[in-house]
């Protein structure tokens, strides 16, 4: 019996597409709050005790956003690394037509 040649893995292809999309957008996500944070910190946008409190919260959220963006990229990259690029035709078909 001859083994069927391996075919592209649909799951790998989806992960690769997601990775490429994230790679294009992650930079904008990481810096999304930078301008607002800089304006609050400089006093250009708002001054006073509430501004300092709100600015501290914004700075914390900015760090969380960056960390979450990096974590997301790492998780997709890890999933891609652990996913075979090619699979048997049967495995590919089962990924394309999952039964729930």
**Residues 44-99: tens digit of each pLDDT:** 888 899 999 999 999 999 999 999 999 999 999 999 999 999 999 999 999 887 66
Distance of CA 71 to the CA centre of its chain: 7
pLDDT at site 95:
86
Cβ atoms < 10 Å from Cβ of 52: 14
**Reduced to 3 DSSP states, what percent helix, strand and coil does the chain have, rounded to the nearest 5?**
70, 5, 25
pTM above 0.95, yes or no: no
Q: Place 1 in a pLDDT band, splitting at 50, 70 and 90.
A: low
- pLDDT confidence bin for 2, thresholds 50/70/90: low
């Amino acid at each position: 019996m001859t083994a069927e040649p391996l075919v592209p893995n649909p799951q790998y292809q989806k992960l690769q597409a997601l990775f490429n999309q994230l790679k294009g957008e992650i930079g904008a996500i990481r810096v999304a709050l930078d301008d607002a944070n800089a304006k609050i910190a400089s006093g250009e946008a708002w001054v006073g005790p509430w501004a300092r409190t709100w600015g501290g919260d914004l700075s914390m959220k900015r760090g969380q956003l960056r960390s979450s963006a990096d974590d997301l990229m790492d998780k997709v990259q890890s999933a891609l690394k652990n996913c075979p690029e090619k699979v048997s035709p049967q495995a590919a078909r089962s990924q394309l037509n999952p039964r729930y």
